[in-house]
Amino acid sequence: MRTTITVNGTARTLDVDPRTTLLDALREHLGLTGSKKGCDHGQCGACTVLVNGVRINSCLSILAMHDGDQVTTIEGLGQPGALHPVQQAFLERDALQCGYCTPGQICSTVGMLQEAADGWASKETADLSAPTALTDAEIRERMSGNICRCSAYPQILAAIRDLAGEVA
Amino acid sequence: MTSVRDWAEPNPVTENRGGVIGKGVDRYEGALKVTGTAPYAYDTVAPSPPAIGVLVTATIPRGRVTSVDTAAAEAAPGVQLVWTHLNVPAQAPRGTRANPRSQRASNPALGSDRVEYYGQSVAFVVADTFENARAAAELVKVAYAAEPAVVDFMASFDQATLPPDEEDVHIGDFHGAFAAAPVTIDETYFSPIQNHVQMEPCATIAWWEGDKVTVHTSIQMVKGGQHALAETLAIPSSDVHLLTRYIGGGFGGKGQPYDDLILSALAARALKRPVKVAYTRQQMFHGTIHRPAVDMRVRLGAEPNGRLTAFAVEATTHCARAATFTEHAANFSRNLYAAPNRLTGHRLVRMDLPHAGPMRAPGEAPGMLSLECAMDELAEKLGLDPIELRIRNEPDIDPETGKPFSIRQLVRCMTEGAQRFGWERRNPVPGQVRDGRWMVGMGMAAAIRGNFLLPAKAGVRIDAGGIITLRQGMTDIGTGTYTILAQITAETLGVPLGHVRVEIGDSDFPPAPGSGGQFGAATAGSAAFEAGMNLRRALTELAVGDPNSPLYGGPAEYVTFENGVIAIENRSETLAALVGRAAPDGIYVEGSISPAADARDYSQHTYGAHFAEVGVNQVTGEVRLRKMFGVFAAGRILNAKTAKSQITGGMIWGVGTALTEVNAVDPRFGSFVNQDMAEYLAPVHADIVDLDAMFLDEADDKANPMGIKGVGELGIAGAGAAIANAIYNATGVRLRDYPMTPDKVLAGLMAKGL
Ligand code: FES
Ligand code: FES
């Protein structure tokens, strides 16, 4: 089954088994192994990527559904020596330990900051008409789809707080 | 043999002239991890495209495979092989060692028709793609003859026996003293089965070149994995090259090899192409180890002034029949509080559940959930502050062995923590503080975790450009090993951190025992330090013996290493200049560490104190963390940033332990009811509010040459008990059955008429 997606700015056409998830397409067919598989069931967030700028669990999405979509993976955000601001903040705040959840956390952060900037509400949002202020409670709530078993949560919060300050 | 006296001598690390030790430098491999470019086992690019293996696992807890129908699977698209116990290639019998020095014995996969636990591998399918392999695995039909299985722990206490080679420890006359004690506590606490849920499932990719196999796998112990594979395949360990460079969490659960390692190697040999195998998340729950449940009876007898006279902690736990493991939940209590009459011990039930094994702070993690609540209960009975009760029972020497403590700052951890947390805000009368629907309370608990040093080696090389490379068969499971090895090497050799490379996770490198038991940094780090000291000596000799060196002929004892420069007073040159000229091929030396002969003359531990504030929702019974703070004493801290990450990570595990984490057993199948990440509730971001920690200044010169200790497990020890005590302080409801989920809390509130 032929599907064309644009990954990190480059159009890629794949002809793969229709059962292939977006995550496995990225990892097994495009060599982009930065996105991780922690559960394959949409429960952990390790596979988070941005599709048309919105964060999704790529394990829970079939490649064939994404014909024509723009996909950004962790590899598309920055490289060693040229880190994306979110990657830099994670590094400085030690917002990672084993690092396995980290690409997902970072992609999720990028998506989350945009959602907040666009005024999307969360369970913690008291006033739906006011601009979203990324309080600690907002950040925690919005990042709760990304499990970190190493439990770098305080450090991830600190990293995102740094960025939220810049963005807000 | 070395003595701890030798370790008290000043050395480059303890002098820390470059200031690299202790500094919160960024994680060495951090840039790779934040960019997704650190290759974990399953990410490794093989020399040619790999085939994919998928496991088929048993659906009964005990019995026999009577027949297997693989025809449909074999005929399915892309399938390259289907193995069961009937046709898997020959492997050495389980538990055998051809080489008596092997660190692990043979561990065959699909070795027989016996089923010993739900989730055991019974078949294995390899296909050209993951999709084909997964679909074909569904087509394998396995028939079983089930046998009666023991899977209900609480109903099996009558089968409990003493663990092998173990006796209860009696000191004085516990029973007499307990009977005579004016104030007593006699309560039982329960800690359930828990799961590591490392973010990265176990995975291996294997390929062969001639008689030699290369495996990239996710394992905490390099040598253990290499030897297990060699023994199982009945090949020399020199024919196994095992690499484990990046590991997506271990927590004790990856201390041993699993079937992914064995089957990928066997299949790669049979198919003459690389094969990779990963466990599914569901397979991780059953196919790898878990922390067993522990039932703990605590009896305390005290004088009215709080002095303990009688002290007993007795733990009953379980393990699989075929894999002996004892969760030593009473051990920690042998070193914690003074009491003249003592009884501690363990009982073990053999069951037909998946294998029990070590999980972050085995022993302490469940064990402290009992005693540290019992102390809270005793404090209330006595009308004493819980900290004061602990201070009154602070021992001068180890209460059980009579050995001196190497260093013990438990009281300082508690008093410092109390002050920083604001313990004086706590109302000692429970159930008094309200915040709307939330009942608010505070609790504290002590923390103790042993400290260990094991034998290890390391190699260090300086090249003609002055770059220093440390090599060690060590692992980094998220602990910060790469980073602290770089820091130790840089400080030992007086070079900037940027001049140091660290290469670990390779069975070709000098061996270290790996990551586990919070011994990693001290053990691997001390070997790296010794290797660095040997390189200093080699460089010193080179310089003073080289007529072209400004240091030529100088007294070796005056040589200094600072900022990449070797010098004797104002005569100096860079290490790059020296090595580039006098040893252009570079210099490689090794170093090793082993426990000092007299180290066991001391009672040696890491300590801490946890403080927690929780809110308990009176309507729903939900418990929410509001604030948590810990103070820890764990020797010299090598990296302020990574050590704190480790310790807060451990504390958060304590939050999960107290509030959410449990694997419920399905009595029909001996399986875990919750076997995925949506149902096994590890803490998420929203669960963790205002949590912080600090370390006291400390150096333990009885620990190792650098005075460092482990921090990976201390953070969880006692953490859950602090939360349980806070729940009591908030509500007046004393729960002793972890985790303290809303159903249990609500039942307690209703029983109190709240
Ligand atoms: S791998 Fe996709 S959510 Fe876990
Ligand atoms: S860093 Fe290990 S799971 Fe998040």
B635 lines ligand 2 (CB under 6 A): no
**What is the per-residue pLDDT for B497?**
98
Please indicate, yes or no, if residue B704 is contained in any of the structural domains. yes
* Average pLDDT over chain A, rounded to an integer: 96
Which residue segment(s) compose the domain that B571 sits in?
4-38+455-594
Nearest CA in chain A to B51: A28
Token pair belonging to A107: 């992609």
Same domain, A140 and A156: yes
Which residues have a Cβ under 8 Å from the Cβ of B168 and sit 6 or more positions away? Answer: B162, B314, B343, B344, B345
A53 phi-psi bin (left φ>0, alpha ψ -120 to 50, beta other): left
CA distance from start to end of chain A: 43
Cβ separation A141–B686 shorter than 8 A:
yes
For ligand 2, atom 3, name the residue with the nearest CA: A148
* Ligand 2 pocket test, candidate residues A87, A146, A150, A155, most atoms within 8 A of CB: A150
Model confidence pLDDT, tens digit, residues B521-572: 999 999 999 999 999 999 999 999 999 999 999 999 999 999 999 999 999 9
Q: Which atom, in ligand 1's list, is nearest to the CA of A60?
A: 2
Residues B22 and B636: beta-carbon distance below 8 Å: yes
Cβ separation A75–B36 shorter than 8 A:
yes
Same domain, B443 and B492: no
Q: Does A106 touch chain B (CB under 8 A)?
A: yes
Closest CA to B119 of B51, B34, B58: B58
CA distance from start to end of chain B: 64
Q: Is the pLDDT of residue A165 over 80?
A: no
Rounded to the nearest angstrom, the distance between the alpha carbon of B282 and the centre of ligand 2 is: 19
For residue B547, cis peptide bond before it (omega within 30 degrees of 0): no
For ligand 2, atom 4, name the residue with the nearest CA: A148
Same domain, B408 and B493: no
Same domain, B399 and B460: no
Same domain, B745 and B605: yes
**What is the per-residue pLDDT for A1?**
83
Percent of chain B with pLDDT over 70: 100
pLDDT-based confidence at residue A129 (cuts at 50, 70, 90): confident
Token pair belonging to A109: 């952060």
Same domain, A11 and A67: yes
Establish how many alpha carbons lie within 13 A of residue B414's alpha carbon, considering only the half-sphere containing its beta carbon: 20
Same domain, B440 and B483: no
Instruction: Mark whether B713 is an active-site residue.
Output: yes
A-B CB pairs within 8 A amount to 194
Which residue segment(s) compose the domain that A64 sits in?
2-77
Smallest Cβ–Cβ distance between A96 and the set B34, B42, B477 belongs to B34
According to DSSP, the β-strands at B203-209 and B275-278 are: antiparallel
Domain count, chain A: 2
Cβ separation A102–B33 shorter than 8 A:
yes
* Ligand 1 pocket test, candidate residues A35, A41, A49, A108, most atoms within 8 A of CB: A41
Using the 8-state DSSP alphabet, how is residue A46 labeled?
T
A46 lines ligand 1 (CB under 6 A): yes
pLDDT average, residue stretch B124-151:
98
Same domain, B474 and B590: yes
ipTM for this model: 0.98
According to DSSP, the β-strands at A2-7 and A10-15 are: antiparallel
Determine which of B28, B33, B138, B716 to mutate to test the interface with A (most A C-beta atoms within 10 Å): B33
Helix (H, G, I), strand (E, B) or coil at B40: coil
Same domain, A90 and A57: no
Residues A82 and B182: beta-carbon distance below 8 Å: no
Which residues have a Cβ under 8 Å from the Cβ of B413 and sit 6 or more positions away? Answer: B446, B447, B607, B608, B609, B631, B632, B633, B696
**What is the per-residue pLDDT for B453?**
93
Separation between Cα atoms, residue B706 and residue B700, nearest integer Å: 8
Model confidence pLDDT, tens digit, residues B182-202: 999 999 999 999 999 999 999
Same domain, A6 and A68: yes
Closest CA to B615 of B520, B528, B723, B532: B723
Same domain, B441 and B468: no
**Residue A122: its chain B contacts at CB < 8 A?**
none
According to DSSP, the β-strands at B275-278 and B51-57 are: parallel
Which residues have a Cβ under 8 Å from the Cβ of B177 and sit 6 or more positions away? Answer: B301, B309, B310, B340, B341
Same domain, A73 and A90: no
According to DSSP, the β-strands at B79-84 and B121-127 are: antiparallel
Same domain, A36 and A73: yes
Closest CA to B65 of B5, B120, B138, B126: B120
**Residue B278: its chain A contacts at CB < 8 A?**
37
Percent of chain B with pLDDT over 90: 98
Rounded to the nearest angstrom, the distance between the alpha carbon of B247 and the centre of ligand 2 is: 10
A37 lines ligand 1 (CB under 6 A): yes
Closest CA to B635 of B704, B692, B713: B704
Q: Does A31 touch chain B (CB under 8 A)?
A: yes
Smallest Cβ–Cβ distance between A153 and the set B29, B650, B688 belongs to B688
Model confidence pLDDT, tens digit, residues B334-363: 999 999 999 999 999 999 999 999 999 999
Separation between Cα atoms, residue B113 and residue B110, nearest integer Å: 8
Same domain, A68 and A116: no
Picking from B594, B629, B663, the residue at the C-terminal end of a domain is: B594
Rounded to the nearest angstrom, the distance between the alpha carbon of A145 and the centre of ligand 1 is: 10
Model confidence pLDDT, tens digit, residues A22-33: 999 999 999 999
Rounded to the nearest angstrom, the distance between the alpha carbon of B692 and the centre of ligand 1 is: 28
Same domain, A56 and A95: no
Helix (H) or strand (E) holding B520: helix B520-544
Rounded to the nearest angstrom, the distance between the alpha carbon of B59 and the centre of ligand 1 is: 25
Separation between Cα atoms, residue B309 and residue B644, nearest integer Å: 37
**What is the per-residue pLDDT for A131?**
85
Smallest Cβ–Cβ distance between B645 and the set A88, A106, A152 belongs to A152
pLDDT average, residue stretch A103-108:
98
Please indicate, yes or no, if residue B141 is contained in any of the structural domains. no
Calculate how close chain A gets to B610, using CA atoms only, in Å: 16
Q: Is the pLDDT of residue A166 over 90?
A: no
A150 lines ligand 2 (CB under 6 A): yes
Closest CA to B291 of B202, B200, B367, B188: B367
* Residue B736 identity: R
Same domain, B577 and B670: no
Picking from A42, A77, A112, the residue at the C-terminal end of a domain is: A77
For residue A100, what is the domain's CATH number? 1.10.150.120
Picking from A77, A111, A138, the residue at the C-terminal end of a domain is: A77
Please indicate, yes or no, if residue B581 is contained in any of the structural domains. yes
Q: Is the pLDDT of residue B418 over 60?
A: yes
Same domain, B588 and B669: no
Rounded to the nearest angstrom, the distance between the alpha carbon of B513 and the centre of ligand 1 is: 32
pLDDT-based confidence at residue B745 (cuts at 50, 70, 90): very high
Which residues have a Cβ under 8 Å from the Cβ of B4 and sit 6 or more positions away? Answer: B596, B598, B599, B601, B602, B701, B702
pLDDT-based confidence at residue A168 (cuts at 50, 70, 90): very low
Q: Is the pLDDT of residue B613 over 80?
A: yes
Q: Is the pTM of this model over 0.90?
A: yes
A107 lines ligand 2 (CB under 6 A): no
A78 lines ligand 1 (CB under 6 A): no
Same domain, B444 and B520: no
Smallest Cβ–Cβ distance between B685 and the set A20, A28, A140 belongs to A140
Cβ separation A36–B199 shorter than 8 A:
yes
Token pair belonging to B256: 């041993």
**What is the per-residue pLDDT for B1?**
65
Please indicate, yes or no, if residue B419 is contained in any of the structural domains. yes
Smallest Cβ–Cβ distance between B199 and the set A46, A78, A141 belongs to A46
Q: Is the pLDDT of residue A167 over 70?
A: no
Per-residue H/E/C for B667-722 = CCCCEECCCCCCCCCCCCHHHCCCEEEEECCCCCCCCCCCCECCCCCCCCCCHHHH
Same domain, B652 and B663: yes
Picking from A33, A56, A77, the residue at the C-terminal end of a domain is: A77
* Residue A15 identity: D
For residue B462, what is the domain's CATH number? 3.30.365.10
Same domain, A89 and A160: yes
**What is the per-residue pLDDT for B754?**
84
Model confidence pLDDT, tens digit, residues B296-336: 999 999 999 999 999 999 999 999 999 999 999 999 999 99
Helix (H, G, I), strand (E, B) or coil at B81: strand
Same domain, A110 and A71: no
Listed in order, strand segments (DSSP E) in B75-220 are: 79-84, 114-115, 121-127, 141-146, 169-171, 183-191, 203-209, 212-217
Q: Does A7 touch chain B (CB under 8 A)?
A: no
Same domain, B666 and B735: yes
For residue A71, what is the domain's CATH number? 3.10.20.30
Q: Is the pLDDT of residue B609 over 80?
A: yes
**Residue B280: its chain A contacts at CB < 8 A?**
40
Q: Does A66 touch chain B (CB under 8 A)?
A: no
pLDDT average, residue stretch B79-87:
98
pLDDT average, residue stretch B259-266:
98
Domain count, chain B: 2
